[in-house]
């Protein structure tokens, strides 16, 4: 029974990561609209002022968009990998859940410091799902080893 719940939690975590990537992709669809003159000036400077990064001229908007795209692709890739693994043996799922828990916990800490409530809550839920899957699957694997 514990194995069934562990698999369900692992699958829910995979779906949640894919959903996280899709929701985050919405931020890439359109540009932010300035709410006042100060924001308009900030957005203009972020996109027009370029600086040299090892011979490549980039703006803060380029860097922001690039890292944002990487976050979207990373969430979709790891969620898809977890989806593919969901029917594998319990020991493999447990190891994958531990790795997912570790990187999602680290991402949640970064999010608490630098982001706002939406990405922080998405990352926290994903971390909890994989942590619970890891704990549930580990009980099954430990019982089988005895």
| pLDDT above 80 (res 144) | no
| pLDDT above 50 (res 145) | no
- Flag whether 23 is in a domain: yes
CB 2 within 8 A of CB 57: no
- Flag whether 9 is in a domain: yes
Domains contained in the chain, number: 1
Tokens of 65: 């968009």
- Flag whether 59 is in a domain: no
Angle among Cα 127, 136, 22 to the nearest 5 degrees reads 30
Query: CA 71 → CA 45, 101, 110, distances in Å?
Result: 24, 16, 13
- Flag whether 34 is in a domain: no
pLDDT value at residue 138: 66
- Flag whether 45 is in a domain: no
Mean pLDDT of 118-133: 96
Mean pLDDT of the chain: 92
SS3 content of the chain, % helix, strand, coil (to 5): 80, 5, 15
- Flag whether 21 is in a domain: yes
> Rounded to whole angstroms, how far apart are CA atoms 58 and 94?
42
- Flag whether 35 is in a domain: no
- Flag whether 63 is in a domain: no
Q: pLDDT by residue (tens digit) across 26-52?
A: 999 988 889 999 999 999 999 999 999
Give the structural domain span for 99: 2-27+69-145
Other beta carbons within 10 Å of 136: 23
Tokens of 95: 């190891």
* Cα-Cα-Cα-Cα dihedral sign, residues 76, 17, 43, 60: negative
pLDDT value at residue 2: 61
| pLDDT above 80 (res 109) | yes
């Amino acid at each position: 029974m514990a194995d069934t719940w562990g698999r369900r939690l692992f699958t829910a975590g995979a779906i949640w990561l894919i959903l996280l990537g899709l929701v985050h992709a919405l931020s890439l669809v359109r540009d932010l609209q300035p709410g006042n003159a100060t924001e308009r000036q900030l957005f203009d400077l972020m996109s027009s002022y370029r600086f040299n990064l090892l011979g490549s001229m980039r703006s803060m908007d380029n860097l922001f968009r690039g890292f944002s795209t990487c976050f979207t692709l990373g969430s979709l890739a790891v969620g898809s990998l977890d989806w593919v693994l969901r029917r594998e043996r319990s020991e493999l799922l447990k190891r994958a859940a531990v790795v997912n828990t570790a990187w999602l916990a680290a991402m949640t800490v970064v999010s608490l410091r630098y982001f706002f409530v939406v990405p922080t809550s998405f990352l926290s839920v994903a971390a909890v799902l994989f942590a619970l899957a890891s704990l549930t699957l580990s009980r099954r694997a430990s019982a089988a080893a005895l």
